Amino acid sequence: MPHVLLAGQLHKAGLSLLEARPDITFETLTPGSPEFPIRVKEADAVLLWLEPITEAVLAATPRLKVVARYGVGYDTVDIAACTRRGIPVAVANGSNDLSVAEHAMMLMLAVARRTVEYDAKVRSGQWRQGHMPPMHELAGRSVLVIGYGRIGTRVAKLCQAFGMKVFVHDPAFPTPRIAADGHVPAPDWKAVLPEMDVVTLHCPLHPGTRGMMNAEAFGRMKPTSWLINTARGGVVDEPALIEALKAKRIAAAGLDVLVVEPPTTDHPLFAMENVVLAPHNAATPDECLAKMAMRSAQNIIDCFDGKVDPGYLVNPEVLRKNA
């Protein structure tokens, strides 16, 4: 009987799909549980949050038939090693686009309106007293959307609806497609940085994007510009960002992700009033968790039933290999 290891608590919408299959057993661990490396050895499928699947883990899991992500990122999974083993890696494409896009706009608005600072003032009894941090409108500002996948396309539309001038960079999309969507193609993203008021990141983390927002990039940006990151912490060179904020080479940042999660309590970003932080929770509204849970559970069930949709696989070539 196939056994599924859930590396965290799955939303009831996904659990109901697994519970409806008496021919499948499953167990749930707490996120980051030290038991994960032990229990995964007995799993036919594993549903991951941010747990790593390395070649060493795979070598100790002879029964593993599918790796599923409770989300769309897969930078913690050794895709090449899974492919060599013929193990499909499934993601929940289409389930979190809206939530993450809304979260990016929330961070952008929170930075623009200094929401966190004003909230603190009100709670401390400073109703329109003392220094009033300057606020800004989004309309009329230029924004560079880096990554034009399911989330980036939504963010671009939302920015456009706010009256922003939208520039888009994504090597995977031809410039005519971006232009046809009403945006300005930016094939050389570094060249347009001096014109941008906002840079918002929506690209996956891989060797080509790791640390792409570095000292050189921050040096090209306006001193009044903002960085928004709801992608992965590693896309940003964090020490370079901290230095850019301290030196006022950029004005502010809204971050849902950091390089090390959770961060230490003495993280330099914590002391900066011009930084808005969230705990990597862009995709955790209840509606989004339900959609991701159903898609993730269905991916596992479909793999067991031999009818997985290749559109949800990172490595669909394994289907041909396993045929």
Residues taking part in catalysis: 232, 261, 280
Burial (0-12, 13-18, 19+ Cβ within 10 Å), 125: exposed
Q: Is 262 helix (H, G, I), strand (E, B) or coil?
A: coil
Q: Is 85 helix (H, G, I), strand (E, B) or coil?
A: helix
Q: Is 37 helix (H, G, I), strand (E, B) or coil?
A: helix
Selection from 231, 77, 210 nearest residue 147 by Cα: 231
Asked if residues 45 and 23 have their Cβ atoms less than 8 Å apart, the reply is no
Q: What's the rounded Cα separation, in Å, for the pair 68 and 51?
A: 11
Q: Which two tokens stand for residue 153?
A: 């396309």
Selection from 302, 293, 295, 292 nearest residue 65 by Cα: 302
Q: What's the rounded Cα separation, in Å, for the pair 53 and 40?
A: 10
